[in-house]
């Protein structure tokens, strides 16, 4: 084999090694970036979940101290539980949050409520107060239970 061919093959091999090393380094950098991004996303989700759990406890305490309307508490608790522990909405005593939500979800809120005719709002408020009275004891029991519930992982 001629010497120029040997040198050509050696140089081609070295170029291949350098190119593969650059490729491997770039892939390792991308992998490291993805790991950092994933860890950051997981930390965000963990913090978000903890914030929602704290919100559940605060709302439950507000119910126990009669600082919030029961209907509003049920709507908020149902929304939070949908994200952190939806299976609880099917269990006693927490089922009341779902039941009240189902009975009140057709009612307008926020801007829609402000834009609604006063007579209709009064009628809805009467219906809402009846639902609250009907479920008051169950809502208080569920609020106490959810405040003491330990949300796992």
pLDDT 10s digits, 14-59 = 999 999 999 999 999 999 999 999 999 999 999 999 999 999 999 9
Q: Is residue 152 part of a domain?
A: no
- Read off the pLDDT band of 113 (50, 70, 90): low
SS3 letters across 31-66: HHHHHHHHHHHHHHHHHHHHHHHHHHHHHHHHHHCC
Residue 3 lies in a domain: yes
Residue 8: pLDDT over 70: yes
Specify if 151 maps to a domain: no
Which domain range does residue 41 map to? 1-146
The predicted structure's pLDDT at residue 56: 96
Does any domain span residue 85?
A: yes
Domain total of the chain: 1
In a domain, 31, yes or no: yes
Whether 50 is in a domain gets the answer yes
């Amino acid at each position: 084999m001629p010497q120029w061919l040997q040198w050509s093959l050696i140089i081609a091999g070295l170029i291949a090694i350098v190119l593969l090393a650059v490729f491997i380094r770039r892939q390792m950098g991308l992998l490291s970036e993805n790991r950092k991004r994933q860890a950051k996303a997981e930390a965000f989700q963990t913090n978000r979940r903890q914030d929602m759990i704290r919100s559940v406890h605060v709302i439950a305490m507000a119910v126990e101290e009669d600082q919030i309307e029961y209907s509003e508490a049920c709507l908020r608790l149902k929304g939070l539980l949908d994200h952190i522990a939806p299976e609880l909405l099917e269990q006693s005593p927490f089922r009341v949050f779902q039941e009240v939500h189902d009975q009140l979800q057709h009612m307008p809120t926020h801007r829609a409520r402000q834009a609604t005719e006063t007579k209709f709002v009064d009628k809805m408020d009467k219906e809402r107060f009846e639902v609250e009275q009907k479920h008051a004891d169950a809502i208080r029991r569920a609020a106490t239970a959810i405040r003491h519930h330990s949300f796992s992982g």
